[in-house]
């Protein structure tokens, strides 16, 4: 057996000569089916944090008629040996691949490699976190565990054996069912797991650690009992019940709404403190960022609880939309992600308040996806090319992808949509499918032609829709004139018209009733006019109800009409939207230095606060002012100070004119901290929003109220809400509360993340100084993605602070990106996008932002992750 030791570390990159071979662009049009399939794989792990030995046995089968060699991907592997059918075999390393010539149609290929989990700071492949070992393989982490064709269209049945120290790793988990286990002497033990479902390697998972489980069970609709377990460190067990409850709700929901039943006898979730993203849907062994598992009243906010439900449901739903039917290639990522986000959004709407959930989802879309779609990193929902696939786990692929599925749902209706998804799961079970396959199944299942909608997968950019309603009182008609436009995006200079489904109704301006009931108008031309009959009074336009299309709507509606719609629109989303538009007009005028009449906004907020028919959560959403980034998105040239001042002025006007109403809302019936009902959460949210508005004008009074709330809070929502108001003030209570918070929670990493994030989000002139200091704090650990995001990620989203006129905000972010890139490129690259928005900024800041990007680009040894984001941002 040859003992060839080859290290496949990441190739360093010459900074002055990109693109280097490590930075090649992969294109969707170049897709070729795999040359070799691997129907079965056996893995044997000798686990050790410093040095793990991995033996892999692959049954490989030639796919089609060709004479090409077997190519296996590898990254940072120390190769010990290679055999083919039990014999030492000729092999070579080409770039990052192990290449083996095989004469016959099939063979058994065995490799042995050494990997080093303890020094794996990229957190891809097998790595160490808090004494345990765990894996992350999506998208291309499996190649950091063993040599394998690391692509999603190679599906294998896995048999996994793990050996390890019984004291250090008493729990050994992998996918599927545990089929055998035993002691092996010297304090060591082993376990063997078999997964009967063929899966791509990105869904492989392994966990070894000293963990305890919260155990429960779920009986599926066909009567099979599934053992559920959520694995955490023993001390965290009391914080796992909400995740368990969410899991059972999600399992029942998927049976009821999609007819999808769980398919194995076990389902495991493991919480890990060092994790690059939220969670991972590995078959039957979901691995989670602990932030999306652990919660109790004292340490987690209502939003944290909701996020846990959402992420637990999302990963569980992937069992069908992702695992049973997976993606053919990574360009099809939205096939599983867009669909699964739509599924988790629908679940959230069903178990909570549907209108509030829709408002929250649209807020995320507008805050993250719209800027992406309008900036240098814009790409279609199904991208055409990438340098590093990790950079394409974006709001476009996820959230806009979900909007595309939602449009299918809107156009087909629930019943036909379900017929389509039934056919999709049935037709493609066990396969690696494409977005086209998904649409074809929806069409065949529903009998409806959806071809025109496919442009939503291929054309980037957010369409703008102009709408104008013309009323003919004599003829009792109203004509709606619609026009659409999609601006150019990188690589797509000319755009085609898109089908835009607009749920539309007319509201009587006197009666406040729906005088023309809602209808679905699909604008599929550049412009179109639609006439409404029987328009018996002056009509108000209620359009894009429920946000039926992910577009920017520019409707010609006078302020009085918006004010009236804000009080009367029968669609909650449209009502919220009328409020937002009213505020936005005042804010944009203010930011442009024009005169602002705050009265309509004040009246609309007063009307909302006084309403008896609206629930508190809706009120809180409706009276929340658009963020500074959102205001900036409406301006041709952005002066962040002017934007900030305009928003503060309007907040001040609301705070002083409505002091009584806001105080009443603030003092209204509290809800006990343990009550997690939508109503109780809504009350807490409204109180915090009201307190923020009071602080805009009466800082001292608000600080006293906030500090009192902080001191007596029995739950994290109220504690964090109060601290969130205090951090942006100059009052003495600020430091007292921050110190008290730190003293009490500094041993709880997830709560300490909040302490960093709150300060990085503060609306203060000295936030940059504070953040620079926090980066030196002993608790700032750059290797922990949650901690890095809580400081640098939150700061990057703090519009006013990031855009500090002296450029120190940009310089800080650049420093962080450069430092983090040396350890964890994937997480570092996600900090880049805020710097890429320089085109819209006034010239001084735009130049400083470019300088920061250029500094990053000139750094030696830049990863391809950051290289791709930075060069595209500069282009
Ligand atoms: N599929 C994973 C995301 C993996 C990200 C890799 N960079 C989690 C999810 O979307 O459910
Ligand atoms: Zn997902």
Q: What is residue 613's three-state secondary structure?
A: coil
Tell me, yes or no, whether 363 lies in a domain. yes
Q: Is the CB of 388 under 6 A from ligand 1?
A: no
Q: What is the mean pLDDT of each run of 10 residues along the chain (875 residues)?
A: 36 39 89 98 98 99 98 98 97 98 98 98 98 98 98 99 98 98 97 98 99 99 98 98 98 99 98 98 98 98 98 99 99 99 99 97 98 98 98 98 99 98 99 99 98 98 98 98 98 98 98 98 98 97 98 98 97 98 98 97 97 95 98 98 98 98 89 91 96 96 97 97 98 98 98 98 98 98 98 98 98 98 98 98 98 98 98 97
Tell me, yes or no, whether 518 lies in a domain. no
Centroid of ligand 1 to alpha carbon of 278 (angstroms): 7
Query: Residue 124: CB partners within 8 Å, gap ≥ 6?
Result: 136, 137, 140, 141, 144, 276, 826
Q: Is the CB of 393 under 6 A from ligand 1?
A: yes
Nearest-angstrom CA–CA distance, 46 and 181 = 14
Looking at the CA of 275, which ligand is closest? 1
Are residues 143 and 276 part of one domain? Answer: yes
Atom of ligand 1 nearest to the CA of 337: 10
Are residues 246 and 208 part of one domain? Answer: yes
860, exposed or middle or buried, with CB in 10 Å at 0-12, 13-18, 19+? exposed
Nearest-angstrom CA–CA distance, 445 and 419 = 5
CATH code at position 338: 1.10.390.10
Number of domains the chain is built from: 3
Q: What is residue 404's three-state secondary structure?
A: helix
Q: Is the CB of 661 under 6 A from ligand 1?
A: no
Atom of ligand 1 nearest to the CA of 322: 1
Nearest residue by C-alpha to atom 4 in ligand 1: 138
Give the per-residue pLDDT at 22. 62
CATH code at position 13: 1.25.50.10
Nearest-angstrom CA–CA distance, 522 and 17 = 49
Looking at the CA of 827, which ligand is closest? 1
Centroid of ligand 1 to alpha carbon of 138 (angstroms): 6
Nearest-angstrom CA–CA distance, 819 and 229 = 37
- Residue-number span of the structural domain to which 169 is assigned: 36-287
Q: Is the CB of 657 under 6 A from ligand 1?
A: no
Nearest residue by C-alpha to atom 7 in ligand 1: 390
Q: Is the CB of 139 under 6 A from ligand 1?
A: yes
Residue 339 Cα distances to 405, 439, 548, angstroms: 6, 11, 16
Tell me, yes or no, whether 272 lies in a domain. yes
Centroid of ligand 2 to alpha carbon of 371 (angstroms): 21
Tell me, yes or no, whether 270 lies in a domain. yes
Centroid of ligand 1 to alpha carbon of 162 (angstroms): 25
Nearest-angstrom CA–CA distance, 815 and 823 = 13
Contact between 364 and 307 (Cβ < 8 Å): no
Among 279, 341, 824, which residue has the most ligand 1 atoms within 8 Å of its CB, making it the best to mutate?
A: 279
The continuous run of DSSP H or E covering 256 comes out as helix 241-258
The position carrying tokens 């996600």 is 830
Compute the residue count for the chain. 875
Query: Residue 63: CB partners within 8 Å, gap ≥ 6?
Result: 33, 34, 35, 36, 37
Centroid of ligand 1 to alpha carbon of 136 (angstroms): 9
Q: Is the CB of 390 under 6 A from ligand 1?
A: yes
Looking at the CA of 280, which ligand is closest? 1
Residue 357 Cα distances to 251, 306, 618, 697, angstroms: 20, 10, 10, 30
Q: Is the CB of 368 under 6 A from ligand 1?
A: no
Tell me, yes or no, whether 657 lies in a domain. no
Q: What is residue 662's three-state secondary structure?
A: helix
Are residues 203 and 78 part of one domain? Answer: yes
Centroid of ligand 2 to alpha carbon of 833 (angstroms): 21
Closest CA to 428 of 508, 533, 516, 321: 321
Centroid of ligand 2 to alpha carbon of 250 (angstroms): 15
Tell me, yes or no, whether 71 lies in a domain. yes
Are residues 22 and 92 part of one domain? Answer: no
Catalytic one among 138, 315, 360, 561? 315
Are residues 115 and 250 part of one domain? Answer: yes
Centroid of ligand 2 to alpha carbon of 323 (angstroms): 11
Give the per-residue pLDDT at 671. 85
Nearest residue by C-alpha to atom 8 in ligand 1: 280
Tell me, yes or no, whether 500 lies in a domain. no
Nearest residue by C-alpha to atom 3 in ligand 1: 280
Are residues 53 and 19 part of one domain? Answer: no
Nearest-angstrom CA–CA distance, 623 and 602 = 10
Residue 195 Cα distances to 265, 336, 374, angstroms: 11, 21, 43
Last residue of a domain, one of 287, 312, 344: 287
Are residues 361 and 272 part of one domain? Answer: no
Nearest-angstrom CA–CA distance, 692 and 78 = 56
Atom of ligand 1 nearest to the CA of 314: 11
Reading the block at residue 847, the tokens are 């130049």
Give the per-residue pLDDT at 12. 33
Nearest-angstrom CA–CA distance, 112 and 97 = 15
Q: Is the CB of 330 under 6 A from ligand 1?
A: no
Centroid of ligand 2 to alpha carbon of 36 (angstroms): 28
CATH code at position 267: 2.60.40.1730
215 bridge partner residues: 229
188 bridge partner residues: 165, 185
pTM (two decimals): 0.97
286 bridge partner residues: 269
Tell me, yes or no, whether 343 lies in a domain. yes
Told to judge if 315 belongs to the known catalytic residues of this protein, a careful annotator would answer: yes
Q: Is the CB of 654 under 6 A from ligand 1?
A: no
Reading the block at residue 586, the tokens are 């005042």
Q: Is the CB of 83 under 6 A from ligand 1?
A: no
Tell me how far apart the terminal alpha carbons of the chain are, to the nearest angstrom.
51
Q: Is the CB of 719 under 6 A from ligand 1?
A: no
Reading the block at residue 510, the tokens are 């006197």
Residue 209 Cα distances to 47, 163, 203, 496, angstroms: 11, 12, 20, 54
Centroid of ligand 1 to alpha carbon of 857 (angstroms): 27
Q: Is the CB of 42 under 6 A from ligand 1?
A: no
Q: Is the CB of 323 under 6 A from ligand 1?
A: no
Nearest residue by C-alpha to atom 5 in ligand 1: 138
Centroid of ligand 1 to alpha carbon of 337 (angstroms): 8
Q: Is the CB of 314 under 6 A from ligand 1?
A: yes
Are residues 91 and 70 part of one domain? Answer: yes
Give the per-residue pLDDT at 668. 80
Reading the block at residue 636, the tokens are 């041709």
Looking at the CA of 278, which ligand is closest? 1
Atom of ligand 1 nearest to the CA of 278: 8
Are residues 213 and 139 part of one domain? Answer: yes
Sign of CA dihedral 178, 184, 185, 189: negative
Q: What is residue 92's three-state secondary structure?
A: strand
Contact between 442 and 406 (Cβ < 8 Å): no
Backbone φ, ψ for residue 811 (5° rounding): -65, -40
73 bridge partner residues: 97, 148
Are residues 82 and 65 part of one domain? Answer: yes
Last residue of a domain, one of 261, 287, 313: 287
Are residues 146 and 102 part of one domain? Answer: yes
Q: Is the CB of 281 under 6 A from ligand 1?
A: yes
Phi-psi group of 430: left, alpha or beta (phi > 0 → left; psi -120 to 50 → alpha; rest → beta)? left
Q: Is the CB of 280 under 6 A from ligand 1?
A: yes
Are residues 244 and 350 part of one domain? Answer: no
Q: What is residue 80's three-state secondary structure?
A: strand
Last residue of a domain, one of 458, 475, 506: 458
Which residues surround the ion ligand 2 when the cut-off is CB under 5 Å? 337, 340
Nearest-angstrom CA–CA distance, 382 and 28 = 9
Atom of ligand 1 nearest to the CA of 281: 11
Atom of ligand 1 nearest to the CA of 315: 11
Among 200, 283, 337, which residue has the most ligand 1 atoms within 8 Å of its CB, making it the best to mutate?
A: 337
Nearest residue by C-alpha to atom 9 in ligand 1: 280
């Amino acid at each position: 057996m040859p003992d060839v030791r080859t290290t496949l570390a990441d190739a360093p990159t010459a900074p002055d000569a990109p693109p280097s071979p490590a930075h090649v662009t992969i294109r969707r049009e170049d897709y070729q089916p795999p040359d070799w399939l691997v129907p079965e794989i056996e893995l044997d792990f000798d686990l050790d944090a410093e040095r793990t030995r991995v033996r892999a046995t692959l049954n490989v089968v030639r796919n089609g008629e060709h004479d090409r060699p077997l190519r296996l991907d590898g990254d940072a592997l120390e190769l010990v040996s290679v055999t083919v059918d039990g014999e030492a075999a000729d092999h070579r390393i080409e770039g990052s691949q192990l290449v083996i010539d095989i004469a016959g149609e099939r063979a058994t290929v065995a490799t042995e490699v050494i990997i080093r989990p303890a020094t794996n700071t990229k957190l891809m492949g097998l790595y160490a976190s808090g004494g345990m070992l765990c894996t992350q393989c999506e998208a291309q982490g499996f190649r950091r565990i063993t040599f394998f064709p690391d692509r999603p269209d190679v599906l294998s049945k896995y048999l996994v054996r793990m050996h390890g120290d019984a004291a250090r790793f008493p729990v050994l988990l992998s996918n599927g069912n545990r089929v055998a286990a035993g002691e092996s002497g010297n304090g060591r033990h082993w376990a063997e797991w078999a997964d009967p479902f063929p899966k791509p390697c990105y869904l492989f998972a392994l966990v070894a650690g000293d963990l305890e489980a919260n155990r429960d069970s779920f009986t599926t609709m066909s009567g099979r009992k599934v053992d559920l377990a959520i694995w955490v460190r023993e001390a965290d067990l009391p914080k796992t019940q909400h995740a368990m409850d969410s899991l059972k709700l999600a399992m029942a929901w998927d049976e009821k709404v999609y007819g999808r039943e769980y398919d194995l006898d076990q389902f495991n979730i493991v919480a890990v403190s060092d994790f690059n993203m939220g969670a991972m849907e590995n078959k039957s062994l979901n691995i989670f960022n602990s932030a999306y598992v652990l919660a109790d009243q004292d340490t987690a906010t209502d939003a944290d609880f909701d996020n846990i439900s959402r992420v637990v449901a999302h990963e569980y739903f992937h069992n069908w939309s992702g695992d049973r039917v997976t993606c053919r290639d990574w360009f099809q990522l939205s096939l599983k992600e867009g669909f699964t986000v739509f599924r988790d959004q629908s679940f959230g709407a069903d178990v909570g308040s549907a209108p509030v959930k829709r408002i929250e989802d649209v807020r995320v879309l507008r805050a993250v996806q719209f800027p992406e779609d309008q900036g240098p990193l814009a790409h279609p929902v199904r991208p055409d090319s990438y340098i590093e696939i990790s950079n394409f786990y974006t709001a476009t692929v996820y959230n806009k992808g979900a909007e595309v599925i939602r449009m299918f749902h809107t156009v087909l209706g629930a019943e036909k949509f379900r017929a389509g998804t039934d056919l999709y799961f049935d037709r493609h079970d066990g396969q690696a499918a494409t977005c086209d396959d998904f649409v074809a199944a929806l069409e065949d299942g529903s009998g409806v032609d959806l071809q025109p909608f496919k442009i939503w997968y291929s054309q980037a950019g957010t369409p703008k829709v102009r709408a104008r309603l013309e009323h003919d009182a004599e003829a009792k008609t109203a004509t709606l004139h619609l026009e659409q436009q999609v601006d150019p995006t990188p690589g797509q200079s000319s755009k085609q018209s898109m089908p835009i489904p607009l749920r539309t109704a007319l509201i009587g301006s006197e009666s406040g009733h729906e005088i023309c009931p809602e209808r679905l108008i699909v604008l599929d031309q550049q412009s179109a006019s639609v006439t409404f009959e029987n328009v018996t009074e002056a009509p108000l336009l209620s359009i894009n109800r429920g946000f039926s299309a992910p577009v920017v709507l520019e409707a010609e509606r006078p302020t009085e009409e918006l004010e009236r719609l804000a009080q009367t629109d029968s669609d909650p989303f449209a009502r919220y939207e009328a409020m937002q538009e009213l505020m936005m007009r005042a804010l944009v005028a203010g930011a442009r230095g024009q005169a602002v009449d705050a009265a309509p906004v004040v009246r609309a907020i007063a009307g909302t606060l006084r309403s008896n028919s609206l629930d508190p959560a809706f009120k809180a959403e409706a009276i929340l002012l658009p963020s500074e980034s959102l205001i900036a998105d409406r301006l041709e040239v952005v002066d962040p100070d002017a934007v900030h001042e305009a928003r503060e002025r309007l907040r001040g006007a609301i705070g002083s004119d409505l002091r009584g109403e806001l105080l009443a809302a603030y003092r209204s019936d509290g809800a006990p901290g343990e009550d997690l009902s939508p109503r109780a959460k809504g009350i807490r949210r409204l109180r915090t929003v009201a307190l923020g508005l009071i602080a805009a004008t009466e800082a001292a009074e608000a600080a006293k109220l906030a500090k009192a709330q902080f001191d007596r809070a029995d739950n994290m929502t109220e504690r964090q809400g109060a601290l969130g108001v205090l951090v942006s003030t100059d009052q003495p209570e600020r430091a007292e509360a921050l110190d008290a918070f730190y003293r009490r929670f500094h041993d709880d990493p997830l709560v300490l993340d909040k302490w960093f994030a709150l300060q990085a989000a503060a609306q203060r002139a000295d936030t940059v100084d504070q953040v620079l200091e926090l980066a030196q704090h002993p608790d700032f650990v750059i290797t922990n993605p949650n901690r890095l995001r809580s400081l640098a990620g939150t700061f990057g989203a703090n519009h006013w602070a990031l855009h500090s006129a002296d450029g120190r905000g940009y310089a800080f972010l650049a420093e962080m990106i450069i430092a983090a890139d040396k350890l964890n490129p994937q997480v570092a690259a996600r900090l880049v996008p805020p710097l890429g928005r320089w085109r819209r900024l006034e010239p001084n800041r735009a130049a400083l932002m470019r300088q920061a990007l250029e500094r990053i680009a000139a750094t030696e040894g830049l990863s391809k992750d950051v290289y791709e984001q930075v060069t595209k941002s500069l282009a």
